[in-house]
Amino acid sequence: MPVKPTLMQESAPLVGIIMGSQSDWPTMKHAAEVLDALGVAYEARIVSAHRTPDRLYDYAGSARSRGLKCLIAGAGGAAHLPGMAAAMTPLPVFGVPVESHSLKGQDSLLSIVQMPGGVPVGTLAIGKAGAINAGLLAAGVLALMDDALAGRLDDWRAAQTAGVAEIPVTATS
Ligand code: RP5
């Protein structure tokens, strides 16, 4: 099966999307899609706290100096990635608990959310909703300093509101 590479954007990335495994991408791609829709430059990388600790050290340690403004980190199971990233960068880190097979992501959620005071990870919902909202939060942070992006975010929210029907319908099969 042909492999579709992650979208590479022209401008320098402002958001780093990292995940512990290729298997996290079907979840984390939803954060990328939100950033694409809002015109926010990002990069996506597989960086495992357990399997590639040196890559994590290099990535998180250089994130700010490379111009990134925040990180979105997704992992499942014993999900140390967001917390370890937060330990090594002062950038805001948004953690996405990826749904695991055995415990349905409750393990991921608890291992990401229970950070000690002083090393924050802004933890989102388990799975797709969390990834989408991490993308929106990252965009919201950047929009504080970018009026054009703030306008695009307003438009995105208005479109979402306009897309909600007032009257429910029964689907025909
Ligand atoms: C974690 O282990 C990853 O974030 C992933 O969610 C989980 C399973 O990884 P794979 O065994 O599918 O590579 O580190």
Token duo for residue 101: 């097979």
Within a domain: residue 10?
no
Asked if this assembly's ipTM is beyond 0.90, the reply is: yes
Q: How many structural domains does the chain have?
A: 1
Is 21 contained in some domain?
yes
Domain range for residue 77? 15-150
Determine the residue of 17, 18, 19, 21 to mutate for testing ligand 1's pocket, defined as the one with the most ligand atoms within 8 A of the Cβ atom: 21
75 lines ligand 1 (CB under 6 A): yes
pLDDT given for residue 83 in this prediction: 98
Q: What is the CATH number of the domain that holds 85?
A: 3.40.50.1970
Inside any domain, residue 171: no
Does residue 166 belong to any structural domain of this protein?
no
Cβ–ligand 1 contact at 138 (below 6 Å): no
Q: Is residue 167 part of a domain?
A: no
Q: Map tokens 């998180």 to a residue.
A: 60
* Cα angle for residues 144, 34, 90 (degrees, 5° grid): 50
Assess whether the C-beta atom of 16 lies below 6 angstroms from ligand 1. Answer: no
pLDDT tens-digit series, residues 71-93: 999 999 999 999 999 999 999 99
Ligand 1 pocket check for 43: Cβ under 6 Å = no
Type and span of the H or E element at 56: helix 53-62
Please check whether residue 132 lies inside any domain of the structure. yes
104: left (phi over 0), alpha (psi -120 to 50) or beta: left
